A and B are shown apart, each in its own frame.
Chain A
Amino acid sequence: MPKLPKLPAPPLPPPLREPPPRPGESNGKGGPIEEAKAAGINVVDWVDERTSLSGAGRWLMFRKVPKGTNWFYTLGSATMFAFLSQAVTGVFLAMYYRPDPAGGAYESIRYVTNDVFLGQFVRGMHKWGSSVMVILIFLHMGRTFFFGAYKYPRELNWVIGVVLLILTMTMSFTGYLLPFDQRAYWATIVGVNINGTGPLLGPYLSDFLRGGSEFGATTLSRFYAIHMLLVPGALAALIGAHLYLVAKLGTTAPPWQKAEKRSELREAEV
């Protein structure tokens, strides 16, 4: 008896059919690459389903920017990356640094510079990066000023920016003491005394900074704590607020950008 061709199975009624794969779920037909891709998407989806962070991310990253936006608008981001570079190099420098005024501080910096692998490079990044950050802040501030981007409704962002500038200056001042060489010591003596020349509150500010009436045993650790704990925390929080306001209010067009007239209005004028 000749073999009859096999007839296709009759279609199953919908309730009995195998459900199609859910989004992000593999039906087992893809290769390992497909599987890996799906796993990554799964993880992102799992987090997003529980936090709705993707909406916030889109809100922050995919904004409309005005026509005429140019390279000057990158100075703020550049400043932020300078801050991040300072934060990362600072954390790793802190692993070697000892705030010991009786010689340990200088010795630990000498050790980082001369003996640690890439130590001179990372310390150099931190040292020169601080100047870069201050320069970038002033360029960013100049851009904001000359483009009139501080005006309504962005005044509060200007104010936050000024506080960020002051905090950065505090970072520069407190960080300058940490190598604890002659230059650091005498610059700090002079700097603290400049603070002291403010009337009425100045003398108290000097005493607070030194932790006493003279440059003493706790001054260096005080500066170190301000430099790596107090001010960076405030800086990070205020950078967050600064960025939030930038995303919320949007950026301004450069002042030379003229508003485009709608065509029917242009015709009416002619």
Chain B
Amino acid sequence: MVSDKRSKQKSKYTLDRQIPGAFEGETVTRRRFMTGTAHTAGAIAASAFALPALGFAIGPIFKSTPAHWEPVGPEGMFSDTNYVPVVMTVAPSIGEAGKTTVYVRKFNPEIDTDPYDKDTPYIAISSRCAHLGCPVRWVDAAERFICPCHGGVYDLLGRRVGGPPVRPLDRFYTRIKAGSVEVGPRFSVNSELRRFSPRDPGEPVDGIGQYLYPSRPGAQKL
């Protein structure tokens, strides 16, 4: 039996509510059932086009790009004291807009003393400024990378020495194949040159930054 409190409310059974055509044990009226069915059908129809369209639009976020290695020149072309700019393609099939400059230098145990660098045959530093992505250039006289947009300045190892950048310049993996130097996937480094999955410019990877700015789901984890 229902309690006194419950019995004051409307019964959930349609039979008790004196609805014509109600039958024993029925709780949902046919009108309500019909309304619910129509709403559900509408929701299914709407999601049938909305969900694929949404997935189509945000799909590229989750796409992983295969590692791309590009030969940039013979081994003899690079010295271990200064950078040589080479051009490599980061986005295919869009012409000049898909190319970027990479500064390559032979590994030098006297300069590259950080433990993370010891297995790298060549140091390849991205010209993409870690502030907002403008192209930095290596200025020989100053021995600095300098960004034309907002005045970011980096030292020989790509570490920030001035201006607004939040982390050192990105780097690329390098390897030697058949006597030529190949430049591979990009990675980001923090101020101690510890390696991280590639981040976009403007995203710090020191301290809490590496969690506030997660790497993209499709990136190859380091």
Contact A214 B213 (CB under 8 A): no
Contacts of B97 in A (CB 8 A): 101-102, 180, 185, 215
B220 to chain A, nearest CB (A): 11
Of B94, B132, B203, which is within 8 A of A203 by CB?
B203
Q: What distance in Å separates the Cβ of A199 from its nearest Cβ neighbour in chain B?
A: 4
User: For residue A196, which residue of chain B has the nearest CB?
Assistant: B200
Q: In the complex, which residues of chain B have a beta carbon less than 8 angstroms from the beta carbon of A102? A: 93-95, 97
A202 to chain B, nearest CB (A): 7
Q: Give min CB distance, A88 to chain B, whole Å.
A: 28
Q: Which one of B16-24, B53-61, B112-120, B152-160 is at the A interface?
A: B53-61
A102–B215 alpha-carbon span in the complex (Å): 29
Instruction: Please report the C-alpha to C-alpha distance between residue A215 and residue B198 in the assembled complex, in whole angstroms.
Output: 14
CB-nearest residue of chain A relative to B209?
A: A199
The answer on a CB contact under 8 Å between B91 and A203 is no
A189 to B136, CA, bound (A): 14
A211 vs B216: C-alpha distance when bound (angstroms): 12
- Contact A202 B61, CB 8 Å, known A102-B93, A207-B216, A214-B90: no
Interface assignment of A65: CB less than 8 Å from any CB of chain B? no
Interface pair B93/A203, CB less than 8 Å apart: no
In the complex, what's the smallest C-beta–C-beta distance from A157 to chain B, in angstroms? 28
Whether A215 contacts B91 by the Cβ 8 Å rule is yes
A186 at the interface (CB under 8 A from B): yes
B58–A194 contact, CB under 8 A? no
Instruction: For chain B, give the interface size range.
Output: 20 to 34
Q: Which of A194, A196, A212, A217 contacts B63 (CB 8 A)?
A: A212
Task: State whether A208 touches B149 (Cβ < 8 A).
Answer: no
Q: Contact mask B40-66 → A, CB, 8 Å, 1/0?
A: 000000000000000001101101010
**A189 touching B134 in the complex, CB below 8 Å, given contacts A203-B200, A208-B57:** yes
Least Cβ distance of A144 to chain B in Å? Answer: 33
CB interface residues, B 180-222, toward A, < 8 Å: 198-203, 212-216, 218-219
The answer to whether B94 touches A186 (Cβ under 8 A) is: no
In the complex, the answer to whether B202 meets A194 with C-beta atoms within 8 Å is: yes
Query: In the complex, what's the smallest C-beta–C-beta distance from A182 to chain B, in angstroms?
Result: 10
Cα–Cα distance between A185 and B203 once the two chains are bound (Å): 20
Residues of B within 8 A of A74 (CB): none
* B92 part of interface (Cβ distance < 8 Å): yes
Give the CA-CA distance A194 to B199 in the complex, in Å.
Answer: 13
Query: How far is B98's CA from A214's CA once the two chains are assembled, in angstroms?
Result: 9
A216 to B202, CA, bound (A): 19
Q: Does B179 contact A (CB under 8 A)?
A: no
A194, A202, A207, A216: the one within 8 Å of B98 (CB): A216
Expressed in whole angstroms, the Cα–Cα distance for A218 and B60 within the complex equals 10
Which residues of A pack against B, CB within 8 Å? 101-103, 180, 185-186, 189-190, 192-194, 196-197, 199-200, 202-204, 206-208, 210-218
Query: 9 pairs across A/B with beta carbons < 8 Å?
Result: A185-B97, A193-B133, A196-B203, A203-B215, A213-B216, A213-B218, A213-B219, A214-B90, A217-B92
Among all A-B residue pairs, the 4 with the closest Cβ atoms = A199-B212, A216-B91, A197-B202, A101-B94
